[in-house]
Chains A and B, each alone.
Chain A
Amino acid sequence: MAENIRTVEHATCTFCGCVCDDMNLTVDLDKHCITKAENACVLGKAWFAEHTIENRPAATIDGREVGVDEAVEEAARILVNARFPIIYGLSDTTCEAQREALAIGDLIHGTIDTTTSVCHGPSGIAFQGVGESTMTLGEVKNRADLVIFWGGNPGEAHPRLFSRYAVTTKGMYIPNGKKDRYIVSVDVRRTQSTPVANLFIQVKPGADFELLWALRALVRGRRLDPSVEERTGVKLDTMKQLVERMKTCRYGVLFFGMGLTMTRGRHFNSGALLALATDLNEFTHFVAKPVRGHGNVTGADNVVSWTTGYPFGVNLSRGYPRFNPGEFTTVDTLSRGDADAALIIASDPAANFPKAAIEHLHRIPVIALDPKATETGKLARVAFCTATYGINVGGTVYRMDDVPITLRPAFESPYPSDQEVLTAIKNRVRELLNKKAKPKEARKAA
């Protein structure tokens, strides 16, 4: 057995938006790896086990190994010379690194977007339209007696949402855990989340909006045309029983996933669900919450919002922030061919974006920061291998319910953090911009 063992209590898993902060880690400091992650789910165990120190260059330019300083110089040169630079990703890094990325965007008058735009971006648009009846997960644990999961599969994507907050856990006013809760699952197919539900409602694909609107009508006591059954695939009696439960519960929650945001209707679907939760507050306490994917995607929303006033898809080309999804969101700026340089942090659009966007990424200079090798790193002009947040790097992340949590890193990495690389790029960008500005000032003075 190795002698150089360290334990880290109350460490935080940053794999998904649950951001579980009750991890007890056993760390082999000689081998630079985590050998045990007590309390972690299957996703967390893999997250901790697989993030070791890989033998990769800290920086490359066109695939050639270079020093970090040389890569920073090239990255700054690309960004300063671009006419429409975009910054994208940010949901798998610390808030401190996100702030640096925002500062770069401000300096270069760039366009800043996060993975929110291809996740719950439509819900962000819906928040602005209809508002959000919100909560923390602690309230759900202690109070919720009706929990509805709509268009998501937490059983596979957020396993501990069930055991820590929303289904089996015991709370202050829910002393018997699952026995005191009624669980509903609404989806187009059966998933690993379905078995926890007392009621499974299989909605026809593309009919979520119609079902939500029908429920809103029933909440308000309106009569519905029976054709709604054919349209949604759900019996009217089932809808009425669900509405009765929603109106008579003590504390109801609607958790919703990308089954609403990634399908036809997008922000209208999220808006309908948020409006349903708000309507129900005439009868009882009801809240709604998007179930967020990446470990600090909620932090990205917060940092971009507190800095620019908008959550994602923000353009700074005029020197002040403008928000326009569809225009300044990354799938659009790439697919249309607007962007002429990209700074990608902790994200892999070259693997996950539509074909037209990926093709454009191959045409422009890309700067990529990621602890792991990715398709985006492969095509990048400048690629940095960075330390993993939460495992090698401390800082702040936001849980899906907007609660900030401090990270407790397990072991040191030889690679720089995202924050360190971004700070270096920012400083060099500032210097280059000052140099560019000086001749103009000199001409003005003459």
Chain B
Amino acid sequence: MAETMLLVAGRTSKQGTSLSAGKLKEEYLGVTSTVEMNADDMTRMGLKDGDAVRLRTSVGETVVQCKGRKATDLPAGMLFIAYGPPSSQLMGSDTAGSGMPLSKNFTVQVERAA
């Protein structure tokens, strides 16, 4: 059963260092394919670190690995992912006349990927 959550995309140190090594390399692809999730949410959904989850928006979907964060660091219902090709798959292209697509705080459906 998919749950509705809020996805925040952003930069991380590991994303920055692996970016310099190369965006087509395994390390960068791994860093940008990991979503951080509230640990209590993961327990409720029967997920553990490294499990594959499907994130879906009205635009597209992607499958990434999940990693737990303490509730004090990441509120319930919120996800964090480093910018990269997987997060781009979920972004809409409407910029509301600004040039900027919504790249943070967008609603996603989350479920365990088989």
Contacts and interface: CB of A to CB of B under 8 A. Distances in A.
A261 B95 CA distance: 11
A355 B91 contact: yes
Given A50-B20, A189-B75, A372-B23, A206 B98 contact: no
A357 B103 CA distance: 14
Interface residues of A, number: 60
Interface in B1-43: 6, 8-13, 16-18, 20-24
Nearest to B15: A156
A195 B56 CA distance: 33
Nearest to A353: B88
Given A189-B8, A189-B78, A357-B93, A156 B24 contact: no
Interface stretch (A272-280, A327-335, A423-431, A434-442): A327-335
B62 to A, nearest CB: 10
A189 B73 contact: yes
B46 interface: no
B68 interface: no
Interface of B: 6, 8-13, 16-18, 20-24, 59-60, 72-75, 78, 80, 83-85, 88-89, 91-93, 95-105
A445 to B, nearest CB: 44
Interface in A171-226: 188-190, 192, 202, 205-206
Given A189-B73, A205-B78, A348-B23, A326 B105 contact: no
A313 B99 contact: yes
Given A258-B103, A354-B88, A375 B23 contact: yes
A354 B17 contact: no
Contacts of A121: 98-100
A263 interface: yes
Given A15-B16, A357-B93, A262 B22 contact: no
Nearest to B32: A351
A332 B95 contact: yes
Contact of B102 (A264, A267, A330, A352): A264
Nearest to A328: B99
Contact of B105 (A153, A263, A312, A353): A263
23 contacts: A15-B20, A42-B17, A46-B16, A47-B20, A117-B100, A157-B11, A157-B16, A159-B13, A188-B75, A190-B74, A263-B104, A263-B105, A264-B105, A331-B95, A331-B99, A348-B23, A351-B23, A352-B83, A353-B91, A353-B93, A355-B88, A355-B93, A373-B24
A51 B18 CA distance: 12
A36 B50 CA distance: 35
A205 B21 contact: no
Among B9, B95, B103, which residue has the most Cβ atoms of chain A within 10 A? B95
Nearest to B75: A189
B85 to A, nearest CB: 5
A339 interface: no
Nearest to A374: B23
A130 interface: no
B12 A354 contact: no
Interface in A340-393: 348, 351-358, 372-375, 378
A330 to B, nearest CB: 8
Contacts of B104: 258-259, 262-263
Interface in A222-267: 258-259, 261-264, 266-267
Contact of A189 (B12, B21, B74, B92): B74
B98 A326 contact: yes
A395 interface: no
A51 B20 contact: yes
Nearest to B86: A351
